[in-house]
Structure 1
Amino acid sequence: MLRPFFRAALIDVLFWAGYCAFIVSMSAAFGQVTSGAVFIAVALSAELWAVGQAMRRIAHRRHWFELGPLRLAVRLFACVLIGAALSQLVLVPVLWVAATHDWVYLGPDNTAGFAAPMLVMYWAQTASSLALWTALWSWTVAMRRYREGEIARLNAESLRNASELDALRARLNPHFVFNALNNLRALINEDTERARELVTRLSSTLRHALDHSQREQVSVAEELTVVDDYLAVESVHYEDRLRVTREIDPAALDLRLPPMALQLLVENAIKHGIARTPGGGELSLRVRGDGGRLRIEVANPGKIEAESVRRGVGLAYLRTRLAHAATPGSFELRQHGARVHAHMEIPQ
C-alpha cells in the first residue's frame, strides 16, 4: 500500500510522462520526430513536473484549500501563468543555444521558432497544459478533503450519539436499579416468589437495554417486551399508584422504531408524572400503524415543565435519533388539561 505522498508523486510522474509522449507523437503526426522535438518534450515535461511539485508544496504549507473556492482559484491561476512563464524562460535560452550550435535539430531553420509571436504561443500552450494538471490535482485534493470531512463528521456524530447514549444509561440505570434493589431487599423475606419475579424482570430489562443499544432499530413487539419488564419492576415500587392502560394495534407490532424509544416515554411519564402526583395516576399507552407511519402516544398526569424538557437527556437523545434517521420522525409534548401527552411519529 503506497503512502499518499509517494502515490501522488507517482501519479504526477505518469501524467507528465504521458504529456511527453503526447508531444512526441504530435511531432510525428505533423512532420517528423526530430532531436529538438524530443528535447523539448522531455525538458518541458520535467520543468512542469517541478513547477507542479512546487505549487503543491506552497498550497499545502499556506493552507490554500481552506481559503474558499474563489481565493483558491485566483492563487492557482496565478501559479499557472507564472509557472508556465518560468518554464519557458528556462527552456528557451537553453534550446536556443543548443539550436545555434547544432546540438539539436529543430528543422531547416533552427532559429525560426524563436520569434516573439511563437514564444507567446509556446507560453500559452504550456500554460494550458499546466492548467489541465492543476485542475485535475485541485479536484483530487478537494474530493479527498470532502471525503475526509464527511468521515470526520460521521465519526463526530457517532461519538456524539455514543456519548448521549452513555449519558442516558448513566441517568436511567442508577436510579431505576437503586429502587429495584431496595424493593427486592424488602421482598426477599416477605414474598420470595415475587422477589424472584422481580429479579427476572430486572435482569430482562437490563439485558434488553444493553442488546438494543447496539441496534439501529427494533420492532414494536420487541420494544413492548422491554416496556412490560420495566413496568413490572416499577409496579413493585409504586404499587397501586401506577395504573396502566394500553391500546396496541396488532398491525403495528412489526413496525420499526429506535431502540428504547418507547421505554423512554414510559420512563419519562412515570418519573415526571406518576411519581410527582399525589396518589399516582393512570399511564396510558397507545400504539398504532396509520398510513405508513407508526404513531405512539403516552399520557400521564402532570404538567409540562420547560426546564425538564430543555435539559432532559432522554428526550434530547430521542429527538436526535428521530432527526438523524434515514426518514426523520417527529416528537412533541402536549398539555391536555391535567395530563401530559407525548406524541411520536415514525415513518416506515
Structure 2
Amino acid sequence: MSRTYAYWICQLGGWAGYAVMRITLISFFQPITWERAASYAVLVVAGVLYTHLYRYAAKRRGWMQMSLGQLAPRVVGATLGVAALLYLTVDGMGRYVLELDLYEEIDSQTGMLLASVVNGWILLMLWSLIYFGVHYFWNYRRAEVDKWKLEAQAETARLKALKLQLNPHFFFNSLNSVRALIAEDPDRAQRMVTRLARLLRSTLQADDMKTVSLEEELSTVRTYLALEKVRFEDRLRHRIEVDDEARSHPVPFMLVQTLVENGIKHGVACCQEGGVITVGGTVVDEALHICVTNPGTLDTEEGGTGLDNARERLQLLFGTEASLTVENADAETVSATAVLPVRAVPEPPVVQGEASVLARD
C-alpha cells in the first residue's frame, strides 16, 4: 500500500469514525434528525479539507525537517487557527443553511465559541500527534534502510574494486610485466610484487570502512598507477596536485581510484600516444573538490557502473550536498569532478603504519 493511499484512508476513516462516535453519543439523549446528520457530514468534509491544507502548508514550509522545539509552537498555533476555522464552517452551515442550533445546551455565545474551539483544538492536536509521529517514524525507518543500503553499497564497491584488481586482463598483465622484469631489473620486479600485494591487502582489509582520509586514498592511487605504469610505460604519465588542507578530509574508499581507473581505461588506453592523468584536490567554500582529468572526449568516454556506484555512495554518505560530474574540460580532455562537504577527520586509515611507496620506474 502506498503512503498516499494509506493517508487518504486514514483521513476519511478517521473523520468519519469521529462523526459516527459523536452521533452515537448524542443518540442516547435526543433523536437524530437528518439536519443533525447532515451537520456531521459537513464536519467530516471540512475536517478532511482543512487538515489536508494544514498538512500541505506544513510540508511546503519544511516542518518535517524541524526539531521538536521548533515544531511544537508552530503546531499549537496552526491547530488553534484550524480549529477556529472548523468551528466557523460547521456552525455557519448548521445555523444558516440547515437552520439548526448545534450548541443549544450552552447558554452564552462566548461559552459556545470557547467550548467548540477548545474541543476542535484538542482533536487537531491529536491529529497532529498521529501525523507527525507517523512521519518521524517513517523517516527513522528510511534512515535505517539508507544505512543498510550504504553498507551494501560499500561492500559492493569493495567487491567491484577487488574484481577490478583481479580481473584476468589486469592480473595477468601485471604478472607478465613482473616476469619480464625479473631478468631485466630484479629490484624493480620485487617492487612491483610488493605494490600488487599492497593493493590487494588494502582492498581486502576495507570491509568496514566507509571513508578514509584523502591522503590514504592517494596512497592507494599511487600504488595503482605504479602497477599500470608497467603496462603502459611512457604512454601513462600522471600528476597529483592536492592541497595540504584537503589531504586530511574523508572521502569514500576507492572513490579517487575509480575515477583514475576510468580515466586510464577510457582515456589513456584509447589514445595511441597515451596521455596524462591529473589528480587535483582543494577545499573551496567548505566543500572538498576532487578533479581527475584524462585525455579524450565524452564522445568516447563511458562512465559505466563504476561512476554510477560512486555517485550513489556519495549520495548516501553526504546527501544532496555531494555530486559527481563528468564533462569535457576542453577539446582533448575529460574531467571528472567530485564535490563533497567538509567533514571531521575520518576513522584510522585502512592500512596503518605503512608508508606509501612512490613509483621509481
TM-score norm. by structure 1 comes to: 0.59
1:246 to 240, 245, 266: 240
Gaps of 5+ in 2: 30-103, 106-115, 343-361
Instruction: Provide Cα deviations, 1:71-112, integer angstroms capped at 9, x if missing partner.
Output: 4222112223334555787x88xxxxxxxxxxxxxxxxxxxx
* Number of the residue aligned with 2:144: 151
Contact 1:301/1:338 (CA < 8 Å) preserved in 2? yes
Q: Hey, what's the Cα distance between the residues in 1 that align with 2:141 and 2:202? A: 35
Structure 1 residue 208 and structure 2 residue 202: aligned? yes
CA separation of 1:82 and 1:250: change in aligned 2, threshold 3 A: closer
Instruction: Provide Cα deviations, 1:253-302, integer angstroms capped at 9, x if missing partner.
Output: 22332222221222122111221211322333333344433333332222
* Number of the residue aligned with 1:347: 341
Q: Secondary structure at the match of 1:341?
A: strand
Contact 1:298/1:341 (CA < 8 Å) preserved in 2? yes
Query: Aligned-pair RMSD on alpha carbons?
Result: 4.0
- The Cα shift of 1:228 comes to 1.3
Structure 1 residue 77 and structure 2 residue 15: aligned? yes
- The Cα shift of 1:204 comes to 1.3
* Number of the residue aligned with 2:312: 320
1:287 to 277, 281, 284: 281
Q: Hey, what's the Cα distance between the residues in 2 that align with 1:136 and 1:340? A: 52
Q: Considering only CA atoms, is the larger Rg found in Structure 1 or Structure 2?
A: 1
Q: Which residue identity lines up with residue 283 of structure 1 in the other structure?
A: I
- The Cα shift of 1:197 comes to 0.9
Q: Hey, what's the Cα distance between the residues in 2 that align with 1:296 and 1:143? A: 35
Contact 1:284/1:300 (CA < 8 Å) preserved in 2? yes
- The Cα shift of 1:206 comes to 2.1
* Number of the residue aligned with 1:45: none
* Number of the residue aligned with 2:222: 228
1:277 to 265, 271, 289: 271
- The Cα shift of 1:67 comes to 2.3
CA separation of 1:256 and 1:131: change in aligned 2, threshold 3 A: closer
* Number of the residue aligned with 1:121: none
CA separation of 1:138 and 1:184: change in aligned 2, threshold 3 A: same
Contact 1:212/1:260 (CA < 8 Å) preserved in 2? no
* Number of the residue aligned with 1:170: 163
Q: Hey, what's the Cα distance between the residues in 2 that align with 1:147 and 1:69? A: 18
TM-score norm. by structure 2 comes to: 0.57
Equivalent residue pairs, number: 257
- The Cα shift of 1:225 comes to 1.0
Contact 2:162/2:200 (CA < 8 Å) preserved in 1? no
Q: Hey, what's the Cα distance between the residues in 1 that align with 2:327 and 2:242? A: 20
Q: Secondary structure at the match of 1:254?
A: coil
Q: Hey, what's the Cα distance between the residues in 2 that align with 1:207 and 1:179? A: 19
CA separation of 1:143 and 1:339: change in aligned 2, threshold 3 A: closer
Q: Hey, what's the Cα distance between the residues in 2 that align with 1:64 and 1:290? A: 42
* Number of the residue aligned with 1:19: none
RCO (CA 8 Å, sep 6+): is it higher in 1 or 2?
Answer: 2
Q: Secondary structure at the match of 1:209?
A: helix
Contact 2:266/2:300 (CA < 8 Å) preserved in 1? no
Q: Hey, what's the Cα distance between the residues in 1 that align with 2:212 and 2:275? A: 29
Q: Hey, what's the Cα distance between the residues in 2 that align with 1:293 and 1:133? A: 41
Q: Which residue identity lines up with residue 221 of structure 1 in the other structure?
A: E
* Number of the residue aligned with 1:298: 292
Gaps of 5+ in 1: 1-62, 93-116, 119-123
